[in-house]
Structure 1
Amino acid sequence: MALNTRVTEMLGIEKPIIQAAMGWIARSHLSSAVSNAGGMGIIETSSGDLEAVRAEIIKMRELTTKPFGVNVAQAFVRDPGIVQFVIDQGIRFVTTSAGDPMKYTGMLKAAGLTVFHVVPSLAGALRAVEAGVDGLIVEGGEGGGFKNPKDVSTMVLVPQVVEAVDVPVVAAGGIMDGRTMAAAFALGAEGVLMGTRILSSAECPVHENWKRAIVEADSTDTVFLNRSGPGPALRALRTDRTTRIEKEGSPNIFGEFADTQAVYFGGDLEAGIALTGQVAGRIREVKPVAQIFDETMAEYEATVARMARAA
């Protein structure tokens, strides 16, 4: 099933599903699977290793002929040449996040790129629109990763933003299937972003221990950390380490990540922090990306049809 929205039209994709730009994880093997399945695969830059990113973009073009994009995570990539780097790679779609949309949007737009900015609040959405973005990724506090310490749920934030802006909105946080996509569209979104659901996919390169922890998780098995700072707040998988941080706080939340490679690819979930959303509590099986997307679209169609019959 294809679903036409402003998001699919702008990005040239078949399904209005964008993949989260997970640091170290969102690289060619996973992102090409997303693009080949009809969604928008995204290559990350938050790892900060631009030479590796360049190599992944080259691999991406070998693995898919479908559209894909790059994320610029401003808090993590401080290289002043990042915009020219993205332009030089021939990228046509960029998501920007973790920073002020005024910083890069103008330069990216001047080069002809389509730009969506990730926002956690209405104020952030209005500033991004003022900066000239083409669309917004509106991220509720139930999603995994770095968050606004004053978190607002997707159910509240998405319609609030939709009512205030004219650009298309992509809903993020708590989205993992057709029912949640239908709910997001009912709130006014024209696309969805999936993070934890794709993190637990067959093509995702993270260790099976992390995927197993997601599949076995309850909806209460994530923690919201560092609400009072210093540094960013975040949502992560509940482990002994993150439970300790939840109770005691941390003077250096970035230091708590410790050995990211051991967590992500070595399977030692106590060696750092495994960023994960609350929707882990609904994921019960590791599946290929294409199957996830096909099932999502079929369930979306069935959900909309059921609601229409009930009207």
Structure 2
Amino acid sequence: MKPIKNRITELLGVEYPIIQAPMGWIARAQLASAVSNAGGLGIIETSSGQLEEVRAEIIKMRELTDKPFGVNIAQAFVRDPGIVDFVVDQGVKFVTTSAGDPNKYCGPLKAAGLTVFHVVPTLAGALKAIEAGVDGLVVEGGEGGGFKNPKDVALMVLLPLIRSKVDVPIVAAGGMVCGRTMAAAFALGAEAVQMGTRMVSAAESPVHQNWKDAIINAKETDTLFLNRHGPGPALRALRTDRTEKLDVTPSENIMGEMRGVLDLYFGGDMEAAIALSGQVAGRIDTVKPAKQIIDEVMEEFHDVMNNMRNDYL
């Protein structure tokens, strides 16, 4: 497959502008190395807060791949004041920051020579990140899985709006699952895509098969947007008995609903916590290796772009 050359692939040193989302406990060496080895960019998470385990995962990454990879700093979940030194000491060159003020870590990270992208759910957040000096943005639509801005905006609206106001490279997140969605994101102004739910269901994903099966069996209507009115973050999750109850009667402590997360993620108890997932669960019907996912995305992307050119230009 022909590599793509644009600002993001050159910044990251990758063949394909496909980034794996930094899902807590999931985005570790087993999955991230498979994505990097396939020509995309694997990301190691810190949102679990288990920095000693994360350090071990980064060491493992270097055993499993010689390709570039990155680390995410999820500011709402990482309280360690030494997180910048931690990331720098690992020799990582690319960082995404999220769930917090971009001014907090951008300066020190860039001073250490790292490339920094900040995750934004609004135009105001994007402009603030630009002022902070980020190298690029991850623009995240409300259709994506995980923790979200309670005032959610679909990527189809958010991405071209932010592109019209900024010049930095943009990664599109939310609804990205195939070459067709990647082509649409590029048409709207992105230069890369980030995939979360598609990678949760990848063969190398460490989550229990029950979760993968739940994604495969999900309809496009089988996610819920929870906790829109707080307290705590809003989030998008798979429809289960637990989340349907939370949709009707919101929890007073949404993070408390995540206490059994390891029993869900790795034990397969889908009611033990909240199974975070994007709406694209309704488009995923098989478990595939990360390389096959990326190869198929790129093949379809090129086909769509060529067909559009032949049909309309």
Q: Distance in 1 between matches of 2:302 and 2:45?
A: 31
Aligned mates of 2:58, 2:166 — CA distance in 1: 32
Q: 1:9-28 counterparts in 2 under 5 A?
A: 9-28=10-29
Which residues in structure 2 correspond to 1:161-180 (within 5 Å)? Answer: 161-180=162-181
Unaligned runs of 5+ in 1: none
Distance 1:238 1:263 in 2: 14
In the alignment, is residue 157 of structure 1 matched against residue 161 of structure 2? no
Compute the displacement of 1:302 (Å).
Answer: 0.4
Amino acid at match of 1:150: K
Q: Distance between the aligned counterparts of 1:40 and 1:131, measured in 2?
A: 24
Partner amino acid for 1:29? Q
Cα RMSD for the two superposed structures: 0.5
Q: Distance in 2 between matches of 1:139 and 1:83?
A: 23
Amino acid at match of 1:148: N
Q: Percent identity?
A: 70
Distance in 1 (CA, whole Å) between partners of 2:150 and 2:262 is: 26
Deviation of 1:310 (Å): 1.2
Structure 1 residue ranges, 4+ long, deviating more than 2 angstroms after superposition: none
Query: TM-score, with normalisation over the residues of structure 2?
Result: 0.99
The equivalent of 2:64 in structure 1 is: 63
* 2:139 alignment counterpart: 138
Question: What is the Cα deviation at residue 217 of structure 1?
Answer: 0.4
Secondary structure of 2:117 counterpart:
strand
Distance in 1 of aligned mates of 2:116 and 2:259:
32
Question: Residues 101-250 of structure 1: matches in 2 within 5 Å?
Answer: 101-250=102-251
Deviation at 1:3, TM superposition (A): 1.1
Q: State the distance in 2 between where 1:37 and 1:71 align.
A: 20
User: What CA distance in whole angstroms lies between the structure 1 residues aligned with 2:258 and 2:45?
Assistant: 18
- CA deviation after TM superposition for structure 1 residue 267, in Å: 0.5
TM-score by length of 1: 0.99
Structure 2 counterpart of 1:151, one-letter code: D
Offset, 1:307:
0.6
- Give CA-to-partner distance per residue, 1:209-245, whole Å, 9 cap, x none: 0000000100100000000000000000110000000
Matching residue of 1:273: 274
Question: Using the alignment, how far apart are the partners of 1:5 and 1:244 within structure 2?
Answer: 45
Aligned AA for 2:134? Answer: V
Structure 2: how far apart are the matches of 1:51 and 1:255?
Answer: 23
- SS in structure 1 at match of 2:19: strand
